[in-house]
Structure 1
Amino acid sequence: MANSEPASLAVCSTVSPLTSKKENMTPIGSKISELNESRSELLSRIQGLKQDLQNWRSKLDTQVKIYRDELSELKKSLNVEVEQLRSEFQELKTTLQQQQEDVAANLRNLGLQDMSEVAKETKTPEAEENKAEEIPAPSEENSEGIQH
């Protein structure tokens, strides 16, 4: 009988793992189905996030393009205004130079006229002196000749 006891223990030990495997399979199956559901939910959330990211990138790219176009237009407009201002400043510079030249010429003319007026005034007494020198003053020799 000693032989039969270990055999019955062996049968019990083999039956026990089979029964526990069946019992364990039910919770494992439910866990697998839960994990599959969770996986599906995560994949759909990831797909939604990817779609949101693509939409966000698309909107961002569109906004960047709009801003670049606006900046380009503003730059062109600013360049046109700068060129216009440069042209106006060049015209003003030319006008100012012309006016300075005119004023300088007028001052020179006035200076020459003043000089000529001063010269006329100074020449008038000199001319009278020169005329006086040209007309011989009665000298003794001349007076003697006249008297005799």
Structure 2
Amino acid sequence: MADQSSDSTSPPAPLSVSSPTAPKKDNTSPVDSKLTELNESRAELLNRIQNLKQDLQSWRGKLDTQVKVYREELSGLKQTLNLEVEQLREEFKDLKTTLNLQQDDVTASLKSLGLQDNSKDSKEQMDKRSEVTEEKVEALSTDDNTKESEH
């Protein structure tokens, strides 16, 4: 009996000890390789992210520089435009003054020749005509509006 109990315990002991050890080595090796792969992949992704961040900062810097250049150009163009507009205003004022002086000279010449200047009378008549015309237009538009509302 003692032989049988030792026989029955002997064979299972080496099997149970050797069986779990062999699968653990096989299971840890794929897990370790997967962990290594994941760590490498993680490091690569972090490196890519870092490069993207640097690219983004570089792009922002270039964009800011370009925006600043465009703003300066626009500011310069605006100043130039304002100067040109101011020059045109001055030129128109000078032109208006010159025309008024010429008109006064023509009026004085006509008076010295004994001809009457009807230009002032003509201006008053033109103003009256334009007022009458405006009143007629307003009256017509008012009539049209009331006719449209009746329909």
Q: CA deviation at 1:30?
A: 2.4
* Structure 1 residue 108 corresponds to structure 2 residue 93: yes
* Structure 1 residue 42 corresponds to structure 2 residue 27: yes
User: Which ranges of structure 1 fall in alignment gaps of 5 or more residues?
Assistant: 1-14, 130-148
Query: Which residue, out of 44, 50, 64, partners 1:59?
Result: 44
Query: Which residue, out of 87, 96, 109, partners 1:124?
Result: 109
Aligned identity (percent) is 17
Q: CA deviation at 1:128?
A: 4.8
User: Which ranges of structure 2 fall in alignment gaps of 5 or more residues?
Assistant: 115-151
The residue correspondences of 1:1-148 to structure 2 (distance < 5 A) are 15=1, 19=4, 22-23=7-8, 26-27=11-12, 29-128=14-113
> d(CA) in 1 for partners of 2:14 and 2:73?
86
Bigger relative CO (Cα 8 Å, ≥ 6 apart): 2
1:145 maps to which residue? none
Instruction: Give the residue type in structure 1 aligned to 2:96.
Output: G
Q: CA deviation at 1:23?
A: 3.8
Q: TM-score, normalised by structure 2?
A: 0.65
> d(CA) in 1 for partners of 2:111 and 2:14?
139
> Which structure is larger by alpha-carbon Rg, 1 or 2?
1
Count of aligned positions = 114
Instruction: Give the residue type in structure 1 aligned to 2:38.
Output: L
Instruction: Give the residue type in structure 1 aligned to 2:68.
Output: E
Instruction: Give the residue type in structure 2 aligned to 1:59.
Output: E
